[in-house]
Chains A and B, each alone.
Chain A
Amino acid sequence: KAGVTQTPRYLIKTRGQQVTLSCSPISGHRSVSWYQQTPGQGLQFLFEYFSETQRNKGNFPGRFSGRQFSNSRSEMNVSTLELGDSALYLCASSEDGNYGYTFGSGTRLTVV
């Protein structure tokens, strides 16, 4: 079956702009989580959604937000972009969040 699909693969944005990243989970998976990966901070948890409800949130500023739709697809939004937001953003899906996650290939965001 198809894996976790993230779009777009690459993005270049200017400071101050906003960006929306998209994630389509594996069919039947209802839990979707997001991570930020940077060389300095490594992999950090952003948030997790299950059946359109956010169940957990990491320590990121309010500029980072997300949502999940009824078909389990998820989006994350970053407003007022800063240079430090440049990172690989990874989406992962799981049946219910307790049996291991499958990751997508990520969206590489560059803020200039």
Chain B
Amino acid sequence: GDSVTQMEGPVTLSEEAFLTINCTYTATGYPSLFWYVQYPGEGLQLLLKATKADDKGSNKGFEATYRKETTSFHLEKGSVQVSDSAVYFCALSDTGTYKYIFGTGTRLKVLA
């Protein structure tokens, strides 16, 4: 079945460092791909999405490119801030299934 694999956390970075969180997927169809962020005590917030191969999603300085050839959707940010500390989830959704399959989440901690 479909699955999403994320890099293990926690990831600890200093402020202004470059961030990469790896995400790879397995899917039988042509899924849409998403990154969500969860702050302590809150639900999930959509960070960015891409619906087809080579699409680049971007928001708040974060970006990720849908790579069909490597089945990847890695999250990047050029300069992280303390306020980016949260748990990041990669997810896929096959059209017509109306559900997400989530990765296990990667906790990011940014130190001042």
Instruction: Among B44, B46, B89, B97, find the residue whose CB has the most chain A CB atoms closer than 10 A.
Output: B44
Chain B residues in 8 Å Cβ range of A97: 98
> How many chain A residues touch B (Cβ–Cβ < 8 Å)?
24
**Quick check: B98 and A55 within 8 Å, CB to CB?**
yes
What's the dominant secondary structure at chain A's contact region? Answer: strand
Chain B residues in 8 Å Cβ range of A106: 42-43
Q: Give me the interface of A with B, judged by CB distance under 8 Å.
A: 4, 6, 31, 33, 35, 42-43, 45, 48, 50, 55-56, 58, 90, 92, 97-98, 100-106
Please, could you name 28 A-B residue pairs with CB atoms under 8 Å apart, sorted by A?
A31-B98, A35-B100, A42-B102, A42-B105, A43-B89, A43-B100, A43-B102, A43-B105, A45-B100, A48-B99, A50-B98, A55-B98, A56-B97, A90-B43, A90-B44, A92-B44, A98-B93, A98-B96, A98-B98, A100-B32, A100-B49, A101-B46, A102-B46, A103-B36, A103-B44, A103-B45, A105-B42, A106-B42
